[in-house]
Structure 1
Amino acid sequence: MVSLPGTGETVSGFTVTELGFIHMLGARTVEFYHARSGARLLFIQNDDPELGFNLIYRTPQFDETDTNHILEHLLLSSCRKYPSRDIFFDMDSKSYSTFMNGLTDNTYTCYPICTLSQEQLIKLMDVYLCCMEEPDALKERNFYLREALRLELEDPEGPLSMQGTVLSEDWGHLTDLQENADSFTAKALYPGLPSSNLLGRLHLHYRELTFELVKEAFNRCYDYSNCLMVLYGDMDYRAVLEFLDREHLSHYTGTHRSLLSAMDQTPVPGKRSLTAESPAYSDSPREQASIIDYAIDLTGSSQEELIYWDLFTDILDSDTSPWHRCAREAGINNVMEVYLDLLLPDPSLRFRLRNGDDEQKEEFCRTIQSALQEISAHGVAHELYQAAMKENRLSDALTREGSHLGFNISEEIGRYWSQTGKTDYFQLYETASRRFAGDNSQDILKMLASRALTPETSAVIVTVPCPGMAEALEEEKEQYLKETLDSMSMDERRRLCKDTESFRQWNSLDWGNMDFLIHPKDLPAPGPGAPFQKREFGTITSYTAPTSVDAVGSYQIYFDLSLIPRDELKFLSLYQMLLTELDTSRYTVEQQKTLEQEYLHDCTFDELYLDSAAGADSRPMMTVFWYGLTADFAESLDFLLDIMGGGEYDDIPTILRILEKYLPDYDLSRADMASSLSFSLAEGYIRQECRFRNLLNSQDVYYFLKDVASKLREEPEYAGKVTDTLRHISTAILSGSRFTFMASANPDALGEVEQEAIRQLGMLGRDYDTRLEREHDTKQSDTARPTANKDSCHTTQARYTAFILPPQKQKLAICVDAPAQETRMMGDFRGNPGFKGRHLPFLMACADKYLKPAIRYQGGAYDSGIDFYIPAGYFTLWSTADPEVGSTLELFSNTGKALMDISLTQQDLDGYILSAYAQALPPAGTLNNRMRYMRRAMAGIDTDQINFMIADIKNARLEHQAEASQIIHDLLEQGPIVTVGNERAIQRSAGCFDEIIVYRP
């Protein structure tokens, strides 16, 4: 890596002001100050090949018209040097970037870029900086009309409509209960202060927004003296600094417009209480559906103390903490959380109860006070503290496993800088963490609890869903448009009709810019798959991959589900829900919660049913993944197997309590589920693996769990069936019939990890064989005939081979509690020899030149595009926060044919090659990268074939356009389309679907 300068040294106008080190990143840091422009720059140097740049401005929210968010969109539209209809999407669709975005938060706006090419990074940086310096959007009003808000009128008699990209995005959050609760809490805690203003509220303040307000926000915030630049990774920083100074910063004299003082606010002392209504649709539940927040202002805390508060919340949030214990003793059976909120200029401590009712407010607050009093007097249990510290240590050790760290790290620094003017967040975090883990830890905890008991400013807020309020707000918007039209003279209406037509003509123009391209010939060849070893140990298959990561490993086990009859699989969600919620013969629930925190970091359960390419692994399976210290592996696996097999399933009162507590989380009718639901259902049409997962996590499972809870309350004899079924599931899963184990760790520890896994998993068959024989002697499936397990030494075990997944309609719509739509359409190219890597850049062209203009710019959706996943073998067309249904489906269906009419140059295609190549080779952390290749091998996916397709991307030429058009069209004709969203909008286009399903809570 390039050597770094010393304190006081100047490089291309940048003077070094501070040096540092971030251990969790293996990085050295240099903070620079550019005297002429007033800009600050932080360089984080390590060996990460994914380079990052982030341009961050301090942007306080002075109202709720979402001007900063709108400005983020406008500035990346066009500029003098790079004129375009939308330069951001030019870059996004035609550059070798692994991550690119513009993001607005409550105190800052940032513009991040990540790429594996320094040449590409500098070119994209130039576009971003030019957009900040000379944006066309502040001169051409049409950009504002497109991105923010516009009124449209086609006929003088009406109707009048309202459109805008940011408006569509914000309106999509109309029924977001948690976002609305955040807003009500901010207003109660900080009345009259900027901290009470949250972004994303234009859907409630569209009457107040003007172009002039947006211009004022630009003039207030966008100066280099009010910005921080962050560079990240293994780059020639001197070349980058020289570029920044020469091309940009040396031409501007800073006006010292830091706006740091705008973050200094003094909340009004006092205890406040508020009950507020959140918009919901008429059929939404009101009972057991509210959010209760207790918020404590922490203004005046030092930055180190805020880190202590954050670590304190990790302890309080544990199920074994005094707070959760007090809640259980008080009969509170709700999901609760506590967190440090640093997104506003004023920090606060937030306690939250979900799926509650207003009458729980007082008891909820009493549990908080009781817990804080206990901690202030006695601290916390040593076991709880140690588990939290180990979890924190693991989280820090795994930081480099994340992708796009040039963005993720700089975003955290940018938030901290926007409120303090400093960049040493991670250095301070590491110092504070060490002190918090030191000998005085209990004293720190007692001090924090004491302070939380006597806050100067606090608030209790109950956010209640109000059924029918969403329709009322929609009608209010329509009434506003009607009154606005009625107030206009005929001349004003004709003028607006003309303006509407003029805007649409401007908006339909296809003009862009590609002056930021690098040449595709410079793209690196795809690398070979990471090495791993596959070995067989009786009925256990082991995959192991060595890594250079010290002390930490990643682990995954695949358990066979084919011993469970079909009618019992619907209990699998209940089985997973109860893990660590029931005592075992070895551990109480409280002990399990502590050990889970200590040993099973980021533990996740999933289901899959690989297709025939997986050979013998094509069977129903449940998989468990976790990270942990390699030194703790034996204990972690032993603990995992105990909780999976040792639960006291006859503890019906606890089972009922857990069911009632978590049941609302299984309801897929929530608006925030629409995006993931549309994707998973579309994928389920073409992939057995996902259809199986959907089956076990469907809305029908939610209804089933509700029914189980009801029967346990009303039919005492039903308890026996639940107990027997859960016992059989745990027995079957841990029968020892067939296991697959995967691990990635340092080679010094990997052998011992594998040996221990084989030892413990090998014992399961012997421990459970007798029990399994007894259960299968007395129980047979109603849905399939069990057969002998011929590939296992346990020949008495019955395997249910006749598992047939139910079919899914090709064109499906799901109605949920959402104001807009999420739509996905997929093309399946797995096993299709006609589809080649050279066709992928043409998908990027379709997204950029066909879908985005029609759906985002003209259709009013927040966004749309096309993604592809080579290992999974499909591409997906998508739109999000989309007010349309029928027109979007028609556009999607015609994508292949439309490609024939798209005018492309080879330069255009070169840009799409760059974008496709970046999407085809996503960066990953060392552990995750190794696990990825082992999972592919298990699924029968050939990495060499993937690399062959990736390498072929660079072969795309204009003469391939016709064949790409035809095969894309053919694949989409056979592929699924799924829309999830607003019932009224979907029913208006009912003829587009083979089936419409209405989800009800």
Structure 2
Amino acid sequence: MAALPNLGETLWGFTVTQLGTIHMLGAKTVEFFHEGSGARLLYIQNDDQELGFNIIYRTPQKDETDTNHVLEHLILSSCQKYPSRDIFFDMDSKSYSTFMNGLTDNTHTSYPLCTQSQEQLIRLMDVFLSCMESPEFLREKNFFLREGIRFELDSPKGPLTLQGTVLSEDWGHLTDIQENADSFTAKALYPHMEASNLLGRAHLHYRQLSYDRVREAFYRNYRYSNCLVVLYGAMDFSRILEFLHKEHLSFTKQKANPRAELPYKYKKPQTGFRTLIQESPAYKGTPVEQAAIIDYAIDLSNSSQEELIYWDLFAVLLDHDASPWHKYARNQGINNIMEAYLDLALPLPALKFRLRNGEASQMEEFKASIGKGLKEIKACGVSNRLYQATLKENRLTNALTREAAHLGYSISEEIGRYWSVTGKTDYFQLYEYAFNKFSSDRSQSIIKMLAAKALEPQTSALVATLPSPGLAEQLENERKRYLAETFASLSEHKRTRLVEETRSFRQWNARDWGCMNFLIEPESLPLPPPPAAFAKTEAGSITCYTAPAPVTGVGSYQLCFNLSPISQGDLAYLSLYQLLLTELKTLRYTVEQQKTLEQEYLHECTFDEFYPEPEAGLYSYPQMSVSWYGLTEDFSQGLNFLLEVMGGSDYSDIPTIIQVLEKYLPDYDLSRTDNASALAFSLAEGYIRRESRFRNQLNSQEIFYFLKNILKRMKNDPDFGRSVSEKLRELSRSILCGSPLIFMAAASEEVLAAIQTQAISRLGQLKAAPRRSFLPYSFPPQRQRMAVCVEAASQETRMLGDFRKNSQFKGRYLPFLLACADKYLKPSIRYQGGAYDSGADFYIPAGYFSLWSSADPDVKSTLNIFSKAGAAIASLPLTQRELDGYILNAYAQALLPAKALGSRMRFMLRDLAGIDTKSINLMIEDIRHARLEDQQEAARMIQAILEKGPVVTVGNERSILKHRSCFDEIVDYRQDFRSI
């Protein structure tokens, strides 16, 4: 890597102001100041080949019209140098970028991008910066009308409607009770202050949102002296600085001293304790029992940044089930999911305690439990075992930082938030210093001090947020009344003019123009790398996969248990079995001890079910996998602990089982889902993949009602409770004693052999159970066109196309799919249909592609557009240069950045599933060969595949039932899982 400049050295107008190191990234840092423009720049240098760029502006929320969010959309719509209908989507769909976005927060707005090509990085940076300097929306109001808000009128007789991309996105969060709880808590902590203004609230303040507000926000915030640029990865930074200086920053002259640019200062909060009970919009029929959120929040705006890091670490301790707070809450009979965290998403920092799935009547006892827990910590601290386990978990998290995707984005976001409120860039240096200090505080004086402060806060609030069925409809009707009143107030002349303006806007919005001056040549794309080396060995009934990785001290592990010994009728109990892990005592450990040991030994431990397709051969049987990270020195202890928990739980403790079900049952209710997109995707995938049908069966809404029924019967029938206990014991034995077993590990080559030996030795001690014979699992057929009604204001739709067994399908067809998304789906569904977004993506290892729409107010028109997507490809006006752009994008989607542990685990899992990485690489390589002469065959192939594929819509009942003829089946998840 290139040598970094010294302190005080100037390079292309940038003067070095600070040097540093971020150990968890294996990185050195250089902070620069560009005196001519006032811009600050931080370069984070390490050997990561996925390069990152981010430009971040301070953008405090002056109100709740979501103006900054609208502005974020407008900035990357078009500019003088790169004129386009939407230059962001031009870049996103036609570049070799691995990540790209615009992100609005409550204190800042950022524009990150990542790519594995420096040439692509520079070209995209030029577009980003040109948009910051001269966005086209300042001259063309139609961009605001599209992205923000507009009236539409088709006829002088009405009706008047309200449209806009950001408005649609925000309206989709109407019933998001957690988001509403955050807003109510901010209002209680900071009444009548700007610090209470949160983003994403345009659906409640659309009357005040205006073009002039957005223009004012741009001129107030978007200048180089109010920005931070972050560069990340193994790049030629001198060339980047030269580009920035010559092409952008040297043309900017600041009127004021750029060093005077300081973070925005909020007014000092009003002191005192405030209580608030508020209603969150919900639709009629929404359950209200065990549905409230209670927040107790403490303002921390007087804390230093170092203290905030301590508060963050303290919150992790508080959040643990073994903390004094959780103990007192349980002793008081509070049996709810609770969490404690440092909330930095608010404009001012706060320590927040949250209770979910509760009742308003719990407010006082919830607050009392917090007080008791804090008093104990103030006097005695926490148990040394909990303290050390938390520190170890943090060290492991730090050691695994490089495993995350798009680090140039995530790291710069953390630094950007910190810079927006401090003007500094040394967040990670401060974090590492503070963490070391916290770790060496053996007397726990820091957390005792923090507990004392939390017991006597200057400003705090206790807030309950309750779902209010019918309030969502009331707000929808209020919007209709507003539109009716506005329409009635318009003169005939104004109505006629608005009809013409609507027609004119639609004509402008239907135009297809863009820019591709940022493309690199597809010939420069790298070949897919060969799969990482791994070994596969057999030890009796145990299959071991091991892969050496260039890491030190940490490993990634996975166990796969055979579920075949379990009858299909008993599979529903698997969810209860997994739910109870670490919730019941074992012969060796109490529940509190298990929670602490899990934190220490089983980092990010997850359970999953999968049923490999027939291509897996001998491994094509139902399995349950357990995956985790851990320190390699702790592997043996971690494995022993895992097996103890899986096989040693006390299932005779029926009262505790009932308590656990009462606590967690609401989280199994998919009708309350906050991720309808994932639900639509998994259901659609279930139509084409046995593995997904199997997983869906074990994580469906039926499981919620199954657990609900078990809870009811266990409460009323002791004999039934005992039968459930026996069923769980039998299930546990079947899982642990079933063979064969599969073990996977990726770790340093120096320790890998020892890890395999330890695994074989311990797993070999599991006693094989007598083989039982059951009929093969069968799954009820799923309808091709399905809709699910949930608690939502809009729709999420997914259509899948399966090409796994289609030997005629080629990688070169995928760029045409992305062209269809960019030139057909997005214009029809987003620009003209009012959805937040729409597009297409693909998954070569899984063998399918997907069409999708998000926060979509429509149903029928979207389905109609999807159904014709393949045919639309045939008539797309395409040049080879445009196709080159889609080749770049397809290649970026297909060729994921390599991660030391994650990539190796991925290759081993492919081998287990019978997926040939060489075939995948051949399809990826073929993407580069797409030519215009392939267009008609791609259209025919994709259309034929889509006609056989599934489509699933998840969303609002009224919208779905209005178009019920579009579906083969409609299921209401809110009403005892009934078909409509």
Same fold, judged at TM 0.5 (above): yes
User: Per the alignment, in what secondary structure is the counterpart of residue 901 of structure 2?
Assistant: helix
Question: Of the candidates 934, 940, 943, which is equivalent to residue 969 of structure 1?
Answer: 943
Match runs of 1:657-736 below 5 Å: 657-736=659-738
Q: Aligned-pair distance for 1:671?
A: 4.2
Please say which of residues 542-551 and 665-674 is displaced more in the overlay: 665-674
Question: Of the candidates 281, 288, 293, which is equivalent to residue 279 of structure 1?
Answer: 281
Alignment partner, residue 329 of structure 1: 331
Q: Is the 8 A contact 1:7 1:17 kept in 2?
A: yes
Match runs of 1:315-714 below 5 Å: 315-440=317-442, 442-714=444-716
Asked whether 1:881 is paired with 2:855, we answer yes
- Cα separation, 2, equivalents of 1:703 and 1:274: 33
Q: Is the 8 A contact 1:736 1:761 kept in 2?
A: no
- Cα separation, 2, equivalents of 1:77 and 1:737: 57
TM-score, structure 2 length as denominator? 0.99
The one-letter code of the counterpart of 2:595 is K
- Cα separation, 1, equivalents of 2:267 and 2:362: 32
Alignment partner, residue 790 of structure 2: 816
Asked whether 1:949 is paired with 2:918, we answer no
Q: Aligned-pair distance for 1:439?
A: 3.4
User: Per the alignment, in what secondary structure is the counterpart of residue 718 of structure 2?
Assistant: coil
- Cα separation, 1, equivalents of 2:586 and 2:931: 63
Please say which of residues 797-806 and 487-496 is displaced more in the overlay: 797-806
Asked whether 1:800 is paired with 2:774, we answer yes
Alignment partner, residue 871 of structure 2: 897
User: Per the alignment, in what secondary structure is the counterpart of residue 254 of structure 2?
Assistant: coil
Q: Is the 8 A contact 2:294 2:355 kept in 1?
A: yes
- Cα separation, 1, equivalents of 2:254 and 2:896: 38
Alignment partner, residue 779 of structure 1: none
CA deviations over 1:652-695 (Å, ceiling 9, x no partner): 00000000100011000014131110010011111111110000
Q: Aligned-pair distance for 1:802?
A: 2.0
Alignment partner, residue 955 of structure 2: 981
User: Per the alignment, in what secondary structure is the counterpart of residue 263 of structure 1?
Assistant: coil
CA deviations over 1:751-782 (Å, ceiling 9, x no partner): 111111111111102xxx4xx4xxxxxxxxxx
Q: Aligned-pair distance for 1:345?
A: 3.0
- Cα separation, 2, equivalents of 1:954 and 1:449: 59
The one-letter code of the counterpart of 2:138 is L
CA deviations over 1:867-920 (Å, ceiling 9, x no partner): 000000000000000000000000000001111111000000000000000000
Alignment partner, residue 870 of structure 1: 844
Q: Is the 8 A contact 1:736 1:762 kept in 2?
A: no
Q: Is the 8 A contact 2:566 2:731 kept in 1?
A: yes
The one-letter code of the counterpart of 1:467 is P
Q: Aligned-pair distance for 1:403?
A: 1.0
Q: Is the 8 A contact 1:277 1:463 kept in 2?
A: yes
Alignment partner, residue 11 of structure 1: 11
- Cα separation, 2, equivalents of 1:228 and 1:136: 23
- Cα separation, 2, equivalents of 1:693 and 1:75: 42
Output the aligned Cα RMSD.
0.9
The one-letter code of the counterpart of 2:636 is A
Alignment partner, residue 818 of structure 2: 844
Q: Aligned-pair distance for 1:2?
A: 0.5
With over 3 angstroms needed to count, the CA separation of the structure-2 counterparts of 1:684 and 1:198, relative to structure 1, is same
The one-letter code of the counterpart of 1:714 is N
User: Per the alignment, in what secondary structure is the counterpart of residue 515 of structure 1?
Assistant: coil
Q: Aligned-pair distance for 1:801?
A: 4.0
User: Per the alignment, in what secondary structure is the counterpart of residue 285 of structure 1?
Assistant: coil
User: Per the alignment, in what secondary structure is the counterpart of residue 675 of structure 2?
Assistant: helix
Aligned residues: 973
Q: Is the 8 A contact 1:281 1:817 kept in 2?
A: yes
Q: Aligned-pair distance for 1:212?
A: 0.2
- Cα separation, 2, equivalents of 1:664 and 1:490: 53
Alignment partner, residue 88 of structure 1: 88
Q: Is the 8 A contact 1:97 1:114 kept in 2?
A: yes
Alignment partner, residue 141 of structure 1: 141
The one-letter code of the counterpart of 1:889 is L
The one-letter code of the counterpart of 2:38 is G
The one-letter code of the counterpart of 2:466 is V
Q: Is the 8 A contact 1:539 1:736 kept in 2?
A: no
Q: Is the 8 A contact 1:39 1:254 kept in 2?
A: no
With over 3 angstroms needed to count, the CA separation of the structure-2 counterparts of 1:217 and 1:441, relative to structure 1, is farther
- Cα separation, 2, equivalents of 1:110 and 1:562: 50
- Cα separation, 2, equivalents of 1:316 and 1:819: 35
Q: Is the 8 A contact 1:563 1:797 kept in 2?
A: yes
CA deviations over 1:621-645 (Å, ceiling 9, x no partner): 1000000000000000000000000
CA deviations over 1:711-733 (Å, ceiling 9, x no partner): 01111210121011100110000
- Cα separation, 2, equivalents of 1:745 and 1:723: 38
Asked whether 1:855 is paired with 2:829, we answer yes
The one-letter code of the counterpart of 2:664 is Y
Alignment partner, residue 978 of structure 2: none
Asked whether 1:162 is paired with 2:136, we answer no
Q: Aligned-pair distance for 1:265?
A: 2.9
The one-letter code of the counterpart of 1:200 is G
User: Per the alignment, in what secondary structure is the counterpart of residue 80 of structure 2?
Assistant: coil
Q: Aligned-pair distance for 1:616?
A: 1.1
User: Per the alignment, in what secondary structure is the counterpart of residue 943 of structure 2?
Assistant: helix
Q: Is the 8 A contact 2:156 2:496 kept in 1?
A: yes
- Cα separation, 2, equivalents of 1:459 and 1:286: 23
User: Per the alignment, in what secondary structure is the counterpart of residue 307 of structure 2?
Assistant: helix
User: Per the alignment, in what secondary structure is the counterpart of residue 40 of structure 1?
Assistant: strand
The one-letter code of the counterpart of 1:535 is T
Q: Extract structure 1 runs of 4+ deviating beyond 3 A.
A: 255-261
Asked whether 1:197 is paired with 2:171, we answer no
- Cα separation, 2, equivalents of 1:19 and 1:593: 40
Q: Aligned-pair distance for 1:441?
A: 5.1
The one-letter code of the counterpart of 1:660 is E
Q: Is the 8 A contact 2:196 2:347 kept in 1?
A: no
User: Per the alignment, in what secondary structure is the counterpart of residue 819 of structure 1?
Assistant: coil
User: Per the alignment, in what secondary structure is the counterpart of residue 619 of structure 1?
Assistant: coil
What percent of counterpart residues are identical?
64
User: Per the alignment, in what secondary structure is the counterpart of residue 926 of structure 1?
Assistant: coil
With over 3 angstroms needed to count, the CA separation of the structure-2 counterparts of 1:924 and 1:168, relative to structure 1, is farther
- Cα separation, 2, equivalents of 1:26 and 1:391: 19
User: Per the alignment, in what secondary structure is the counterpart of residue 717 of structure 1?
Assistant: helix
TM-score, structure 1 length as denominator? 0.97
Q: Aligned-pair distance for 1:997?
A: 0.2
- Cα separation, 1, equivalents of 2:794 and 2:405: 30
Match runs of 1:260-279 below 5 Å: 260-279=262-281
- Cα separation, 1, equivalents of 2:261 and 2:824: 41
User: Per the alignment, in what secondary structure is the counterpart of residue 395 of structure 2?
Assistant: helix
- Cα separation, 2, equivalents of 1:835 and 1:797: 42
- Cα separation, 1, equivalents of 2:29 and 2:942: 47
- Cα separation, 1, equivalents of 2:308 and 2:254: 31
- Cα separation, 2, equivalents of 1:680 and 1:254: 52
Q: Is the 8 A contact 2:67 2:213 kept in 1?
A: yes
- Cα separation, 2, equivalents of 1:333 and 1:739: 37
The one-letter code of the counterpart of 2:60 is P
- Cα separation, 2, equivalents of 1:439 and 1:180: 38
Q: Is the 8 A contact 1:265 1:346 kept in 2?
A: no
Q: Aligned-pair distance for 1:285?
A: 1.1
Q: Aligned-pair distance for 1:259?
A: 6.2
Q: Is the 8 A contact 2:58 2:263 kept in 1?
A: no
CA deviations over 1:58-99 (Å, ceiling 9, x no partner): 000010000100000001000000000000000000000000
Q: Aligned-pair distance for 1:343?
A: 2.0
Q: Is the 8 A contact 2:59 2:106 kept in 1?
A: yes
